[in-house]
Structure 1
């Protein structure tokens, strides 16, 4: 069993306090050095290798739907910005007394109060519980790939023994990430589950990894600045920066340019949970339930396929909805970029790959199909997809610092199909906003939102998916 939050906090304090002063005396001065003694390490959380994988085939769940209490309103009404931010004069001068030398006034958690590394609200708890679900699946997924695919299968894609050691190391990193979050949550923190992965070969496995680590990373960026507990946010920040590096590594393993975007987007928690839940098969009895919404799946019928030399010339080459993971099934050998002898179109694992044929481009017609609500998803099929939207009208492209809307065309509510046009927008000059591993949601309004309040669009979301723009 994991140590309690109190023990974790005590362990951190012990690490800080268990240092003794050692005087070194010369003829003229006495210098004191701080010498660490035997510093104890907090226990890593108990974990095991998951032995069962595949879709859930157990009895119907006795409890279904998201965790809920009394709901005050169908959506949160807009409010004016905080006056202290509007009124502050950003002129480079100091406007308040300094609490100590070389320190400006202001800031949060800077008044000398002792940090407590635990959640401080329902918002904190549910957000960190979601993050822990992600750490658990990554711990299993990284190990599962190494156990499932042979060295020869990895080598075929240019993933060497050293690369596989890196993959093992990234799995070990998840032990630390899970330990930090579980200790901040306490004894009811979510436990390891069983999982179902939509992959059958190394190319699909790597693609699913790079997509999962992107929405896990983006999910934390979305809620991190909103946490009530600054100390918890600080701990989580030190984990999610490693997660970002993992996502980059998986793009490199897949022969993609490591970081085409200039800014990594943040997404709402319900988006991250929607994308994750279908790949969790079952969880232990009395597992902590989440409050977040599960939106219907959005299928991108011509999802760009990084396994192809021409990744945009595709139709129905994914393993399913939500992640829209690439599929290599039925693609002729001479159209797979792994077999290309041209260095400008091959996609073996590399530090960087500059491919001449882009995965997507402005003006591309993107064909869409979405599920009806009411599908059972997630652990033990105990969560239910929901939406308030009767008729989607827009595609919301969430990438970098933007949410850009394009109208849905040729909408069929009977077939739940439509298409839209990939927009030609830039975050900055020479920086296409639609790029990298990003997100598309179908909405019924083109609500103006920005990175800090993108959650406000949730009541208007009809379906959701990952889009492989670059």
Structure 2
């Protein structure tokens, strides 16, 4: 069995343009698992698949071991400025209706004046600018990893492991259906990009248990969803935005379901937050190991990682009783899940209202995952780390010394002061506040960052903060 998988892996090497990985069957497959390997044609040339207990999984999920031939984000012909300065309102933004009825002639019956793409021109469902291309290409990288990730856990873990985590055959069937959804999403985005659409890659995942897998998926679908909300209304092609919105609506449902499977409340905020593309790429890239030769590269920035040392552990009945040194996260990457194999304080099989965290339609927590005033401990990496496909991207920042912590959540970007305690370490206190009524300003799986300036930004221009970001992290607030 093992030799057949290794033989399949050797066939993968020419496609990747890298030395063949030495593949063994992960211990989590279990000694009684039924495993076979095959090479399947795909849009990337060939894809090696392992069939484990009836589910497909790529053979290799590990780090890149070769030497990158290309370094850095794809450059443009030239860069016009170091940043985009704030400007006053667009001079065309003058419409205000005090009458409550249409003010201008209607171009057709029951059709109020205005709107874009409503003049009868034939829709063109193709990207229409460099901004469009790079944004949709990023989205396609996201769809490809989701397709692989959803399949991988189904193949990696046994029926007994799923049952122990509270997920029966029907839950696994739903996850398989979600994986199939990603096939359609990837096809859609590929068609809108054309022949230089990125291909599926090989990935390196952090989880070792079913609960860690599901936790990782709720984090990954969060930055996948928020990343699209951040750029969709900036696209030059309204037609592309229309189809993308129809796919990201499904992505939002996936994130909700993975939260339910993790024992988290399914809807924790009143408004979902949108993130700039570079934030999403920073979170995604560390999990991409190999890509096929000549895979289209991205232009977005990779920020240094911000480690949250005492992030809440969703597997504890008192989720804030975590170690203070980062050891309750399974690894050092930006979206790595909470460690589930804790020896004391586990809520996984605790059938106590307010404290249990098994899969459920909804849980009401007696103790929140975080709270205003909580002291948050940080460490952050210096720029210059090799990340992403073939270790060919490099983390960077143009910011000065960190002074603030930015919390990007719901309709707000809120700052709290950073207290620096040592070399690339410090702390802050979780801010208090509300969006509307009793809706807490900080909740959910959210982006948090160190900045050198408390720049005022709103949901439509958050990318203006990028030149001031020192490091970027993912905070588990609810």
TM-score interval, smaller chain: 0.7 to 0.9
Please state if 1:250 is matched with 2:258. Answer: yes
The answer on 1:336 being equivalent to 2:346 is yes
Residue among 399, 402, 405 paired with 2:415: 405
- Tell me how far apart the structure 1 counterparts of residues 144 and 333 of structure 2 sit (CA, whole Å): 22
Does residue 84 of the first structure (1) align with residue 92 of the second (2)?
yes
Unaligned runs of at least 5 residues, structure 2: 1-41, 50-57
1:318 aligns with 2:325: no
What is the match of residue 349 of structure 1? 359
2:33 match:
none
Find out whether 1:64 has 2:71 as its counterpart. Answer: yes
Aligned runs of 1:296-307 on 2, under 5 Å? 296-307=304-315
Change (3 A) 1:420 1:145: same
- Give the whole-Å Cα distance in 2 for the aligned partners of 1:90 and 1:163: 52
Q: Which residue of 1 aligns with 2:106?
A: 98
Structure 1 position 117, deviation (Å): 0.4
Q: Distance in 2 between matches of 1:293 and 1:257?
A: 32
Please list, as runs of the form range in 1=range in 2, the aligned pairs for 1:28-427 lying within 5 A after superposition: 48=47, 49=49, 50-58=58-66, 60-69=67-76, 70-315=78-323, 316=326, 317-319=328-330, 320-329=332-341, 331-333=342-344, 335-412=345-422, 415-427=423-435
2-structure distance, mates of 1:154, 1:448: 46
Summarize the alignment of residues 18-33 of structure 1 with structure 2, pairs less than 5 Å apart. none
Shift of 1:90: 5.0
SS at match of 1:452: coil
Contact 1:52 1:194 (8 Å CA) reproduced: yes
**Contact 2:206–2:336 (Cα < 8 Å) also in 1:** no
CA distance in 1, matches of 2:79, 2:420: 36
Distance 1:152 1:324 in 2: 24
1: CA distance, partners of 2:333 / 2:195: 34
Contact kept, 8 Å, 2:286 with 2:333, in 1: the verdict is: no
Deviation at 1:79, TM superposition (A): 1.6
State the shift of 1:86 in Å: 3.0
Cα distance in structure 2, aligned partners of 1:466 and 1:200: 20
> In 1, Cα distance between the equivalents of 2:108 and 2:315?
57
Per-residue CA distance 1:262-306 (angstroms, 9 max, x = gap): 100000000000000000001011110100000001110001111
Runs (5+) with no aligned partner, structure 1: 1-43
Contact 1:97 1:105 in 2 (8 A): yes
146-155 vs 116-125, greater mean Cα deviation: 146-155
Q: CA deviation at 1:245?
A: 0.2
Deviation string 1:135-186 (CA, Å, 9 cap, x unpaired) is 0000000000000011111111211110000000000000000000000000
1:228-263 deviation line (CA, Å, top 9, x unaligned): 000000011100000000000000000000011110
Higher Cα Rg: structure 1 or 2? 1
* Structure 2 CA distance for aligned equivalents of residues 221 and 292 of structure 1: 16
Displacement after TM superposition at 1:451 (Å): 0.2
Tell whether the 8 Å contact from 2:400 to 2:468 is kept in structure 1 after alignment. no
Distance 1:91 1:295, change over 3 A: farther
C-alpha distance in 1 between matches for 2:74 and 2:114: 37
- Which secondary structure state, in structure 1, belongs to the residue aligned with residue 92 of structure 2? helix
TM-score of the superposed pair, with normalisation by structure 1: 0.88
